[in-house]
């Protein structure tokens, strides 16, 4: 059975102070991968590579750690190093982008990272409208929020009711609510106490031509196939 989240629902809560991004990416994968969602919720089926966990919370926490090791690793690929990111700030946006492209969103969906911290009100308004358009196609996005000085929290942005309003899953509380343009533009988001938008990791609206192999293990994201 497909896993779904809508405004008014309650999802999993992040299992450590620094895994908000990992929690969002784990939920994002649950939304597109019914087998993975079933494993998190019931423990079955147990595919090779799945971390240990007797309860739903333990399995969710274990996979959060798997995701963080990937997104915060030193190597961004076989031939280059990743940009340093303080572990205390959780998941780097570029690591989240890779995780979405290789397992936590529909295979082939391309993502980019937009810095919105220093945009004007008009710029934030345009950024929100762009986010509505690309997320409305069914792929999730991530919004980094924080204080005026630092990004401190990550939430998962989901398609809303079609009226230029998005849904947002806050891993700090597990609650799914509405994300409205005025709260973004006025920098009063109120997501786990944080108000200021910093980064958006969002679909580009384009798809890769190359095919992707189906997931055969819960321990890693899907890799490109040779097709």
In angstroms, rounded to a whole number, what is the distance separating the alpha carbons of residues 51 and 69?
Answer: 13
Please report, in angstroms and rounded to a whole number, the separation of the first and last CA atoms in the chain: 29
The whole-angstrom separation of Cα 227 and Cα 224 is 8
Query: CA 156, 132, 221 angle in degrees (round to 5)?
Result: 40
What's the pLDDT score for residue 202?
95
List the one residue out of 81, 71, 202, 59 whose CA is nearest residue 142: 202
What does the mean pLDDT of the chain come to?
86
Residue 140 has pLDDT above 90, yes or no: yes
Averaged pLDDT, 207-222: 47
How far apart are alpha carbons 196 and 117 in whole angstroms?
7
pLDDT beyond 60 at 214: no
Q: How confident is the model at residue 224 (pLDDT cuts 50, 70, 90)?
A: very low
Write down the pLDDT at residue 66. Answer: 93
Residue 90 CB burial class (10 angstroms; 0-12, 13-18, ≥19): buried
Residue 180's pLDDT is: 92
More confident residue, 218 or 215: 218
Could you tell me which residues come within 8 angstroms of residue 4 by beta carbon, excluding any fewer than 6 positions away?
31
Q: What DSSP string runs through the chain?
A: ------TT-B----SSTT-HHHHHHHHHHHHH-HHHHHHHHH--S--TTPPP-SSHHHHHHHHHHHHHHHHT-SEEETTEEPPP--GGG-S-HHHHHHHIIIIISSTTEEEEEEE-TT--HHHHHHHHHHHHHHHTTT--EEEEEE-SS-EEEEEEEE--SSSS-EEEE-TTT-BEEEE-HHHHHTT---BTTB-EEEEEEEEEEEE-SS-BPPP--TTS---B---
Q: Mean pLDDT throughout 176-200?
A: 95
pTM, full prediction = 0.87
Return the closest-CA partner of residue 31 out of 141, 144, 194, 175.
141
How far is Cα 134 from Cα 128, in angstroms, rounded to an integer? 10
Measured distance CA(55)–CA(69) in Å, rounded: 21
State the helix-helix crossing angle for 20-32 and 34-42, rounded to 10 degrees: 120
Give the tens place of pLDDT for each residue, 99-120: 999 889 988 899 999 999 999 9
pLDDT in tens, 157-187: 999 876 778 999 999 999 999 999 999 999 9
Read off the pLDDT of residues 1-58 as tens digits, 9 standing for 90 and up.
Answer: 689 999 999 999 999 999 999 999 999 999 999 999 999 999 999 888 889 899 999 9
Please say whether the beta carbons of 43 and 196 come within 8 A. no
Q: How many residues does the chain have?
A: 227
């Amino acid at each position: 059975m497909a896993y779904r989240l809508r405004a008014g629902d309650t999802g999993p809560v992040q299992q450590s102070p620094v895994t908000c991004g990992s929690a969002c990416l784990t939920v994002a994968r649950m939304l597109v991968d019914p087998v993975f969602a079933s494993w998190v919720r019931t423990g079955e089926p147990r595919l090779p590579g799945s971390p240990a966990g007797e309860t739903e919370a333990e399995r969710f926490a274990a996979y959060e750690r798997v995701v963080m090791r990937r997104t915060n690793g030193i190597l961004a690929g076989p031939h280059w190093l990743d940009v340093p990111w303080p572990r205390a700030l959780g998941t780097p946006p570029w690591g989240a982008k890779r995780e979405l492209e290789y397992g936590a969103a529909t295979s082939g969906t391309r993502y980019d990272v937009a810095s919105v911290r220093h945009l004007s009100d008009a710029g934030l308004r345009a950024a929100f409208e762009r986010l509505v358009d690309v997320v409305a196609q069914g792929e999730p996005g991530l919004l980094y929020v924080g204080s005026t000085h630092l990004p401190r929290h990550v939430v998962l942005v989901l398609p809303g009711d079609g009226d230029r309003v998005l849904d947002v899953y806050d891993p700090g509380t597990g609650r799914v609510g509405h994300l409205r343009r005025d709260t973004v533009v006025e920098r009063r988001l109120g997501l786990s106490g944080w108000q200021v938008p910093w980064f958006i990791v969002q679909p580009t609206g384009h798809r890769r031509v190359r095919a992707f192999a189906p997931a055969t293990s819960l321990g890693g994201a899907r890799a490109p196939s040779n097709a």
